[in-house]
Structure 1
């Protein structure tokens, strides 16, 4: 905080001249701002022009109850209890009025009265406030709330900040306001007097009409802070914003997921089109993988933020329940009345909007400019109709397989890519005509093909499309028999109708069975002969040994 002490008296005179209230409070302001400092070396930045009820400030390491004319210092936390209010006047002639159950931090106050330059930063934590600019340029004032930061380009602003959630509503009377949160910037113009941010991660809602609950909360909270109406309006504002926050968060997640899918989908389309053209796609594949990982991480981070917001929402609901239990019946009834009134107002607005005629869609008599379809434009259009999951399934195929799959017409392409990644990979082995034939099969028949191994599907790939369709209609056992045939045997059935295919399959299977049986018999006969030969040899060896033993014994005798 920068302030020249000698200039404060002139400034105080200007404050007195511009203050419509006058009176003892501002006389005290002049005396205090001109007097030696009472709190160490800290510089005073303003005074309390008026106080109603209990308002405290914590600064310079101490907490004190504010009274009319008491000094204010930078980095002070000001709290107005329920039913209380205060008006603060600062050296630059700016003013802040805070209403019932409100808190703010006088974060930073840098001011040079000679050059009339400086920076003022104020943190509004909760409650109702009215801010009026001073002699500093509008760009010198910066405000923060729990869910947004606000830059001022005007002279008067009213703020309404919900307990617990920090949901912020701003009403500007003159000039303009800039909201900023994690979604970006939102400008509040003169003809749009109301802006609202529910959370840090939901976009700012700009309106040109103040909702009835917010209007009551601002008016009663600032003008009649101790009234039941003020308490009811604050509670109604909190209840409505908590309810709307849930819907806003759901919409935010859905929108983020939609944008992420669209981005990845377009990258997948670019990759597929390039690969189908035979272009080098190594760099595109690397970018696709990196972007997919980045999008996944970003979505996880968003969902973590959503989780935090949900926890705040739960705390707010508990707070509402506990606070309403302590409130008088009259306040609870007034809260309900305000909520019902706003709901009726919103229904009227919806009805009015639906009753309005649609604006004419004829914007110009000029012919629309037709974009020239780029190479691969037809394929891009067909791919754009696929889901992200379908695109991912074919984006990993080798170039030759991808070219076969993407050469299918739109309906066949959709049907093939609806399969699992493994099934698409297996079917992509087939020639284009065979793929077309498979795409037009029933779900049950397609399943028979996809349950085969890659080698088995490859074996069937030599069949013409119409024959393959006939084969697919056979039983799983018959299809299995065909895949066990040699390529030459498979070629025998390529020009046959379905009934003849079945007959040939059965004949070939029977022949194969006979061959297997004959082979088995031959093997058995060979094994039997080997066993007999072995037995005969063992008998001969035994007989020879016995003869030798007998001869040896006789010789010994």
Structure 2
């Protein structure tokens, strides 16, 4: 009897690639039963955006990209890309919705789900762009990992708006639920709930602050200020010490701030009195030294 292939890939690191029928009959845990029942092809979802906006998918190791239109299937290990003004929306096996904005690239590493037990797992790697993730019916949603160049997200009943800049800077806005964000490979994670966001720049120092207002998630795009970490994180705009006024500043060598306003400059010293004519002061001016 042939081995049963499940949709999880070795590269995802979640499950073994092959489960034999004998193992299924001997499984005693719900999770093992899920592995057996979820044996299927590599399809992990389909496109739900009715209007085609230029999205393409490239299979793992494949040279040719294919257009992904309404109701087309998406597969494990597909790399999805959108051009300028491009977009797509996908629905995965557990009804999770995943929207992709323009100029984006994301790899759908894997997504498995058993509709009977509602147990599953997944991994999605976002390289650049704007994304919206709305969790579906999976009970084990903490087994879904959302990855960017600077962060790994563990989600819990979550709706997220995620922005990934060209330099890898990541901003995660929590609309509903909660998210745990591990910056880079650091062991300490940052937590955020609804109304909060986590920003992780290349320095891998996660900052939790108020969520960015998102008014139209159907037209996702990376904010222009994402690269400006101080502004995006709500930092102090005066961190450079200010300009100190014209010609002055904190580093003035004379030890005073020449930019202070409201300080009257010191008056110039009075000019010295002119010297009197020599004839009035020196009786010997003509060289007569006889007294």
- TM-score normalised according to structure 1 size: 0.33
Instruction: Give 1:174 deviation, angstroms.
Output: 1.9
C-alpha RMSD of the superposition:
2.8
Partner of 1:189: 192
Instruction: Give 1:139 deviation, angstroms.
Output: 1.3
Partner of 2:54: 54
Partner of 1:103: 105
- SS of 2:225's equivalent? helix
Paired with 2:234 and 2:155, the residues of 1 have a C-alpha distance of: 33
Partner of 1:119: 121
Paired with 1:149 and 1:224, the residues of 2 have a C-alpha distance of: 24
Structure whose residues are more often helix by fraction: 1
Distance 1:149 1:344, change over 3 A: closer
Structure ID, larger Rg: 1
Partner of 1:88: 90
Which structure 1 segments of 5+ residues have no match?
4-40, 245-338, 349-557
Instruction: Give 1:191 deviation, angstroms.
Output: 5.8
Instruction: Give 1:346 deviation, angstroms.
Output: 6.0
Partner of 1:236: 225
Bigger relative CO (Cα 8 Å, ≥ 6 apart): 2
Paired with 1:96 and 1:109, the residues of 2 have a C-alpha distance of: 12
1:312-391 equivalences under 5 Å are: none
1:156-171 equivalences under 5 Å are: 156-163=159-166, 165-171=167-173
Partner of 2:6: 2
Paired with 2:132 and 2:81, the residues of 1 have a C-alpha distance of: 15
Matched length = 197
Instruction: Give 1:100 deviation, angstroms.
Output: 1.1
Distance 1:87 1:173, change over 3 A: same
Task: Judge conservation of contact 1:178–1:185 (CA < 8 Å) in 2.
Answer: no
Paired with 1:97 and 1:191, the residues of 2 have a C-alpha distance of: 19
Paired with 2:160 and 2:134, the residues of 1 have a C-alpha distance of: 7
Instruction: Give 1:108 deviation, angstroms.
Output: 1.5
Task: Judge conservation of contact 2:175–2:194 (CA < 8 Å) in 1.
Answer: no
Partner of 1:150: 153
Which structure 2 segments of 5+ residues have no match?
8-39, 239-291
1:357-436 equivalences under 5 Å are: none
Structure whose residues are more often strand by fraction: 2
Paired with 1:133 and 1:236, the residues of 2 have a C-alpha distance of: 27
- SS of 2:176's equivalent? coil
Paired with 1:237 and 1:171, the residues of 2 have a C-alpha distance of: 13
Note the alpha carbon deviations across 1:358-411, whole angstroms, 9 max, x for none.
xxxxxxxxxxxxxxxxxxxxxxxxxxxxxxxxxxxxxxxxxxxxxxxxxxxxxx
Task: Judge conservation of contact 1:176–1:187 (CA < 8 Å) in 2.
Answer: no
Note the alpha carbon deviations across 1:49-70, whole angstroms, 9 max, x for none.
0154211000162410111111
Distance 1:112 1:191, change over 3 A: closer
Paired with 1:125 and 1:344, the residues of 2 have a C-alpha distance of: 24
Paired with 2:117 and 2:234, the residues of 1 have a C-alpha distance of: 52
Task: Judge conservation of contact 1:46–1:91 (CA < 8 Å) in 2.
Answer: yes
Paired with 1:346 and 1:125, the residues of 2 have a C-alpha distance of: 29
Note the alpha carbon deviations across 1:179-234, whole angstroms, 9 max, x for none.
113333233232661111002x4321011242xxxx4xx556x4335xxxx5xx63
Task: Judge conservation of contact 2:173–2:211 (CA < 8 Å) in 1.
Answer: no
- SS of 1:223's equivalent? helix
Note the alpha carbon deviations across 1:3-62, whole angstroms, 9 max, x for none.
7xxxxxxxxxxxxxxxxxxxxxxxxxxxxxxxxxxxxx9431111101542110001624
